[in-house]
Amino acid sequence: MGHCGGGNGPQPQNLFGALVSWVENGVAPEQIPAQTGGGAITRPLCPYPETAVYNGTGNPNDAASFHCGGNLEAPEVVCADVLTKYKHEVKGPLSFKDSVKDHHVCFGG
């Protein structure tokens, strides 16, 4: 998406204001609003390891239709994204054990 350096994705808004509030008032942001240049798409940027989760209803281009949640480091999320097979690889012996911090979680042994 190119959140922080241009690109087509939503860009963070008021980062400096959020930083000042955090440093001077001890209020860490629960999320950072992001929007595309024209404001057609808005999203919350969530603190890691959370991610923006669609509420299931509402405009998918509107941040109000999302909440911060989930855990990008949960085994069910990490393991589902680790091994992506393509065409001829479906029956092939692929190994992505080195791409996960704790490969025992996804691959056993």
Specify the pLDDT at position 63: 96
CA–CA separation, 21 and 17 (whole Å): 6
CA–CA separation, 60 and 56 (whole Å): 9
64 and 15 belong to one structural domain: yes
Q: Which residue from 43, 57, 52 is spatially nearest to 9, judged by alpha carbons?
A: 43
Q: Could you say which residues of the chain have pLDDT below 50? A: none
49 and 86 belong to one structural domain: no
36 and 55 belong to one structural domain: yes
Domain count, the chain: 2
Specify the pLDDT at position 88: 58
25 and 50 belong to one structural domain: yes
Specify the pLDDT at position 97: 54
**How are beta strands 51-54 and 66-69 bridged, if at all?**
antiparallel
Domain interval for residue 82: 75-107
84 and 47 belong to one structural domain: no
